[in-house]
């Protein structure tokens, strides 16, 4: 009995150390979104040029919503050409890609769009409400919406061609 | 007199119609105004419970970041729209999950976070009391028992006592 007690104290530390080790291995920035599988919040925002873009108008299409900012280096700069190439490859198949510029100035946003010759619509979330509606906590973040307008996947960080293709192909393959 | 009475009634009717018209016109304008006056302290309390999403362990109330500023505006707008503080917090939890809360909720799995330190303190205090009691008991027993003296030492003491002038 006495021997068991002697071992109990050092052994009780083991689960605590295991919990700590597990916690340290997790990425604190990798927060699971509660929005996956839920209907995406609709929005109507203006582009830098003042053209109105509405998510509701694209109901029935697979939509990719990408949150970015011109000050977000290097991730947004890495993914901008990837997004443009992906958009050109998929637009004929009915894919809609909307860029949402957050916490930015119009001039810097315009410069970014011009530098990468972005041809897909890019709107500005001036009040931050759309960012909050999508639970955005950094840039870049990319949301993949199915034809029924539900958020099916979220990618945090620069999106690669492979990740983009993987999500979009799956959603385009689903029946309307 | 009758004409005057009719005029007066007509005037009253006209006034009522005018008032109704003014109220009808004013209604959309007042709808734009905050429905509920926002208490600064309430707005601050709500914001202080929310995590600034772009900061490290700072609340929305304390962060100078643009994102936190925008979130503070949303908090005020929702309170002005008539939401209770817990509804405003739930609005953010629905979008960010419970990660947005600086203090975990006191139910479900996160209740463990609150209970575990209390349990550890109670167990620690209990263990300390047990150990201290055991030590004092052992010390008392040792004090009560006369120290054993070696027979040769006793003999030596006796001899020295006798030879003492």
Q: Does A126 touch chain B (CB under 8 A)?
A: no
Chain A residues inside the 8 Å CB shell of B92 = 132
The model's pLDDT over B90-103, given as tens digits with 9 standing for 90+, comes to 999 999 999 999 99
Question: Is the pLDDT reported for residue B14 higher than 70?
Answer: no
Chain B residues inside the 8 Å CB shell of A35 = 95
CA pair distance A75, B142, nearest whole angstrom:
73
Residues in chain A: 176
pLDDT for res A120: 97
Q: Does A31 touch chain B (CB under 8 A)?
A: yes
pLDDT for res A119: 97
Q: For chain A, what is the mean pLDDT?
A: 94
A75-88: average pLDDT = 97
The model's pLDDT over A117-175, given as tens digits with 9 standing for 90+, comes to 999 999 999 999 999 999 999 999 999 999 999 999 999 999 999 999 999 999 999 98
Q: Does B70 touch chain A (CB under 8 A)?
A: yes
Question: Is the pLDDT reported for residue B83 higher than 60?
Answer: yes
Question: Is the pLDDT reported for residue B4 higher than 50?
Answer: no
Nearest Cα of chain B lies from the Cα of A154 at a distance, in angstroms, of 12
Question: Is the pLDDT reported for residue A58 higher than 70?
Answer: yes
Write down the pTM of the prediction. 0.75
pLDDT for res B8: 52
pLDDT for res B165: 66
**For B70, nearest residue in chain A (alpha carbons):** A128
pLDDT for res B113: 84
Nearest Cα of chain A lies from the Cα of B3 at a distance, in angstroms, of 60
Question: Is the pLDDT reported for residue B27 higher than 50?
Answer: no
The burial of B50, by beta-carbon neighbours within 10 Å (0-12 exposed, 13-18 middle, 19 or more buried), is given as buried
Closest Cα to residue B74, out of B62, B95, B88, B63? B88
Nearest Cα of chain B lies from the Cα of A93 at a distance, in angstroms, of 30
Question: Is the pLDDT reported for residue B84 higher than 70?
Answer: yes
pLDDT for res A116: 97
ipTM score for this prediction: 0.87
The verdict on whether omega for the bond into residue B118 sits within 30 degrees of 0, i.e. cis, is no
Q: Does A108 touch chain B (CB under 8 A)?
A: no
For residue B42, the number of C-alpha atoms closer than 13 Å in the C-beta half-sphere is: 18
Q: Which residues pair with A44 in a beta bridge?
A: A54
Closest Cα to residue A66, out of A11, A116, A16, A13? A116
Question: Is the pLDDT reported for residue A1 higher than 70?
Answer: no
Point out the residue among B54, B74, B94 whose CB comes nearest to the CB of A34.
Answer: B94
Binning pLDDT at 50, 70 and 90, where does residue B15 land? low
The model's pLDDT over A95-127, given as tens digits with 9 standing for 90+, comes to 999 999 999 999 999 999 999 999 999 999 999
The model's pLDDT over B126-154, given as tens digits with 9 standing for 90+, comes to 999 999 999 998 888 877 776 778 888 88
Mutate to test the interface with B, among A6, A27, A31, A39 (most CBs of B within 10 A): A31
pLDDT for res A112: 98
């Amino acid at each position: 009995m006495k021997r068991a007690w002697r071992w109990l104290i050092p052994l009780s530390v083991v689960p605590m150390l295991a919990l700590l080790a597990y916690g340290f291995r997790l990425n604190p920035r990798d927060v699971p979104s509660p929005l996956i599988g839920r209907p995406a919040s609709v929005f109507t925002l203006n582009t830098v040029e003042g053209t109105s873009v509405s998510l509701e108008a694209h109901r029935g299409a697979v939509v990719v919503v990408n949150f970015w900012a011109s000050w977000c280096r290097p991730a947004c700069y890495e993914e901008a050409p990837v997004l443009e190439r992906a958009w050109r490859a998929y637009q004929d198949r009915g894919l809609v890609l909307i860029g949402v510029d957050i916490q930015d100035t119009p001039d810097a946003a315009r410069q970014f769009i011009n530098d990468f010759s972005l041809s897909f619509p890019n709107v500005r979330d001036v009040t931050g409400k759309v960012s909050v509606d999508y639970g955005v906590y950094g840039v870049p973040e990319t949301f993949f919406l199915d034809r029924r307008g539900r958020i099916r996947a979220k990618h945090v960080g620069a999106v690669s061609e492979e990740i983009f293709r993987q999500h979009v192909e799956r959603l385009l393959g689903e029946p309307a | 007199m009758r004409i005057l009475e009719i005029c007066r009634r007509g005037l009253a009717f006209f006034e009522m119609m005018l008032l109704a018209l003014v109220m009808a016109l004013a209604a959309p304008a007042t709808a734009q105004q905050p429905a509920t006056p926002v208490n600064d302290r309430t707005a601050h309390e709500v914001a202080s419970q929310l995590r600034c999403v772009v900061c490290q362990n700072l609340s929305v109330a304390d962060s100078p970041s643009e994102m936190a500023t925008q979130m503070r505006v949303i908090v005020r707008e929702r309170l002005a729209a008539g939401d209770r503080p817990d509804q405003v917090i739930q609005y953010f939890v629905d979008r960010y999950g419970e990660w947005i809360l600086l203090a975990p909720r006191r139910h479900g799995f996160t209740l463990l976070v609150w209970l575990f330190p209390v349990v550890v303190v109670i167990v620690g205090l209990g263990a300390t009391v047990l150990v201290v009691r055991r030590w004092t008991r052992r010390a008392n027993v040792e004090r009560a028992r006369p120290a054993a003296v070696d027979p040769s030492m006793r003999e030596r003491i006796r001899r020295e006592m006798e030879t003492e002038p």
